[in-house]
């Protein structure tokens, strides 16, 4: 089943495999505890290539939307979730040869209750003015394990079936009229 989120250009690149166009797979990891040296929110961005990539994010990106950002060259494995009717698609993500900076960010996230979000964006080497998937796939990273060589985690789509509805949680602290 074709993915309707893919642009026409990347569908053509997948179908014809032109020798002058390379599909660049990128990942962005976000968490509230990922802060730069100035204390501002930041994201870990990597590209599966041998050179760093400077590319523009989509306007609605959670961090640096619409800006040209740097994706650091790094080996990683990612199998995209199938386009089917599975209740909650789950995939494995493996980052190889992680830097101390990534491990530092992941250690900070380990002590938090917030989830690490992972966004997958494909780019074409001939068009770096935006990702070729709209909207990009965003997953929640769980079960993260790190060693000296790699970081591995399971990522799944937002489990909308297990979300509370309405999303408002009524507590006695916020709504004192509930307590007797």
Q: How confident is the model at residue 1 (pLDDT cuts 50, 70, 90)?
A: very low
In the predicted structure, residue 52 carries a pLDDT above the cut 60: yes
- The domain limits of the chain are 8-178
For residue 67, the model assigns a pLDDT of 93
Q: How confident is the model at residue 3 (pLDDT cuts 50, 70, 90)?
A: low
In the predicted structure, residue 8 carries a pLDDT above the cut 70: yes
Q: How confident is the model at residue 88 (pLDDT cuts 50, 70, 90)?
A: low
- For 55-82, give one letter per residue: b (16+ CB within 10 A) or e: bbbeeebebeeeeebebbebebebeebe
For residue 47, the model assigns a pLDDT of 93
For residue 172, the model assigns a pLDDT of 82
| Mean pLDDT computed over 155-175 | 70
């Amino acid at each position: 089943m074709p993915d309707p989120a893919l642009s026409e250009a990347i569908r053509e690149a997948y179908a014809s495999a032109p020798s002058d166009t390379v599909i660049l797979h990128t990942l962005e990891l976000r968490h509230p505890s990922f802060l730069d040296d100035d204390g501002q929110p930041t994201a870990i961005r990597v590209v599966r290539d041998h050179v760093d990539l400077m590319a523009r994010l989509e306007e609605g990106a959670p961090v640096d939307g619409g800006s040209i950002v740097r994706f650091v060259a790094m080996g990683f494995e990612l199998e995209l979730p199938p386009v089917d009717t599975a209740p909650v698609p789950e995939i494995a993500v493996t980052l190889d040869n992680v830097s101390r900076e990534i491990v530092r960010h992941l250690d900070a996230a380990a002590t938090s209750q917030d989830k690490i979000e992972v966004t997958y964006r494909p780019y074409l080497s001939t068009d770096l003015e935006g990702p070729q998937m709209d909207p990009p796939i965003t997953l929640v990273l769980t079960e993260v394990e790190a060693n000296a060589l790699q970081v591995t985690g399971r990522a799944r789509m937002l489990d909308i079936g297990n979300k509370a509805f309405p999303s408002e949680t009524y507590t006695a602290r916020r709504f004192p009229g509930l307590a007797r």
